[in-house]
Structure 1
Amino acid sequence: MPAQPTTGQPTTGQHRTASGVSVRAADAWVSALSNLVAVRSPLSGQLAERLTIRQDLSRAQRVRLDRLVPWARQLAEPAPVPRLRSGEIPFAVLGYRTPDYEAASRNIGDWVQTIAMMSHVIRRPDVRFTGDDEVAGLFNRLRSRMPAGSRIDGPSGTLRLVEVNRDASWYDSLPEPTWAFVFGWYFKLPFGRHPEFWLNPRIIPIFLSFHISRGDQLSDKAYDYLREHAPIGCRDWPTVRILRGRGIPAYFSGCVTTTIGSLFPPVHPDRTKPVAYVDVEPPQDAAGVVALRSLDNALRELPLAESLGRAVRRQYAYRSRYSRIVTSRLHTLLPALSCGLSVDWRPRDPNDRRFEGLAGPTAEPMDEMAARVSGIARVVLDAILTGRSKSEVYARYRDEVAEEVAVAELRLSAEEQSRQPFGRPAAGL
Structure 2
Amino acid sequence: MQHETDNLGDEIQTIAARRFMPRVDHLVPREGSDRPIAGDGPIRLILNGWFMHQPRAWPPHARIDPLFVSFHVTDAGGRRRLLTRTRPRDLILGRHLVYLKAHEPIGARDRDTLAALRAKGIDAYYSGCLTLTLPPRDMPKTGEVIAVDLSEAMLAELERRIGRKPVIVTHNAEGGLDHDERVRQAEALLDLYAGAACVVTTRLHCALPCLAFGTPVLFVNKGDANSRVQPALDLARNCTAAEFLAGEGGYDPLDPPPNPDDFRPLAAAMEARCEAFIAGSAA
**What TM-score comes out, normalization by structure 2 length?**
0.77
Change (3 A) 1:351 1:188: closer
- The letter for the 1-side match of 2:268 is A
Residues 285 and 279 (structure 1 numbering): CA distance in 2 closer, same or farther, change over 3 Å?
A: closer
Instruction: State the match for 2:184 in structure 1.
Output: 309
Partners of 1:367 and 1:201 lie apart in 2 by 34
Residues 164, 172 of structure 1: 8 Å contact kept: no
Determine if the alignment matches structure 1 residue 95 to structure 2 residue 2: yes
1:15-54 counterparts in 2 under 5 A? Answer: none
Alpha-carbon shift at residue 217 of structure 1 (Å)? 4.6
- Map of 2:264 onto structure 1: 367
Matching of residue 384 in structure 1 with residue 281 in structure 2: yes
Alpha-carbon shift at residue 361 of structure 1 (Å): 4.5
Aligned to 1:255: 129
CA contact (8 A) 2:93 2:117 kept: no
Report if the CA contact (8 A) 2:173-2:182 is conserved.
no
Pair 1:226 & 2:87 matched:
no
Does 2:158 align with 1:293?
no
Equivalent-residue separation in structure 2 for 1:385 and 1:360 (angstroms): 38
Secondary structure in structure 1 of the residue aligned to 2:221: coil
TM-score when scaled to structure 1? 0.52
Q: Which amino acid aligns with 2:44?
A: W
Deviation, structure 1 residue 283: 1.0
Matches of 2:100 and 2:206, distance apart in 1: 28
Letter matched to residue 37 of structure 2: S
Match of 1:166 in 2: 30
2:201: which partner in 1? 327
The 1:203/1:225 distance shift into structure 2, 3 A limit, reads same
> Is residue 2:12 matched to residue 1:112?
yes
User: Within 2, Cα distance between the matches of 1:343 and 1:285?
Assistant: 13
Q: Which amino acid aligns with 1:384?
A: S
Q: Is residue 278 of structure 1 aligned with residue 148 of structure 2?
A: yes
Equivalent in the alignment of 2:244: none
The structure-2 alpha-carbon separation of the partners of 1:384 and 1:279, relative to structure 1 and needing over 3 Å to count, comes to same
The match for 1:245 is: 119
- Equivalents in 2 of 1:355, 1:285: separation in Å? 22
CA distance in 1, matches of 2:101, 2:222: 34
Q: Does 1:179 align with 2:44?
A: yes
CA deviations 1:13-55 (Å, max 9, x no partner) are xxxxxxxxxxxxxxxxxxxxxxxxxxxxxxxxxxxxxxxxxxx
CA–CA distance in structure 2, aligned partners of residues 163 and 296 of structure 1: 19
Q: Secondary structure at the match of 2:117?
A: helix
Unmatched runs of 5 consecutive residues or more in structure 2:
76-88, 237-260
Counterparts of 1:219 and 1:377, CA distance in 2:
24
Indicate the structure whose relative CO is greater, using CA pairs within 8 Å and at least 6 residues apart: 2
Structure 1 residue 165, shift from structure 2 partner:
0.6
Sequence identity percentage: 27
- Is residue 188–residue 195 contact of structure 1 (8 Å, CA) maintained in 2? no
Aligned length: 238
Flag the structure with higher helix content: 1
How far apart are residue 270 of structure 1 and its match?
4.2
Q: Matched residues in 2 for 1:205 and 1:251: separation?
A: 16
CA shift for structure 1 position 280: 1.0
- Where do 5+ consecutive residues of structure 1 fail to align? 1-93, 97-103, 122-126, 130-159, 387-429
Root mean square deviation, CA, Å: 2.3
Residues 167/254 of structure 1: CA separation in 2 closer, same or farther (3 Å cut): same
Q: Over residues 320-376 of structure 1, what are the superposed CA-to-partner deviations in whole Å (9 max), with x where a residue is unaligned?
A: 3x43211011101001121111111111138712333x2225778111111011011
Deviation, 1:172, is 4.6
- Alignment partner of 1:346: what SS? strand
Instruction: Note if contact 2:158-2:166 (Cα within 8 Å) is conserved in structure 1.
Output: no
The DSSP-based 3-state class of the residue aligned with 2:19 is helix
3-state SS of 1:276 partner: strand
In 2, Cα distance between the equivalents of 1:351 and 1:187?
A: 16
Match of residue 208 from structure 1: 69
Instruction: Quickly say closer, same or farther: Cα 1:349–1:210, change in 2 above 3 A.
Output: same
Matches within 5 A, 1:343-362: 343-349=217-223, 352-356=226-230, 358-361=231-234
Greater gyration radius: 1
Q: Contact 1:261–1:340 at 8 Å: present in 2 too?
A: no
Q: Is the 8 A contact 1:258 1:370 kept in 2?
A: yes
Partner of 1:196 in structure 2? 57
| C-alpha contact 2:34 2:59 (8 A) present in aligned 1 | no
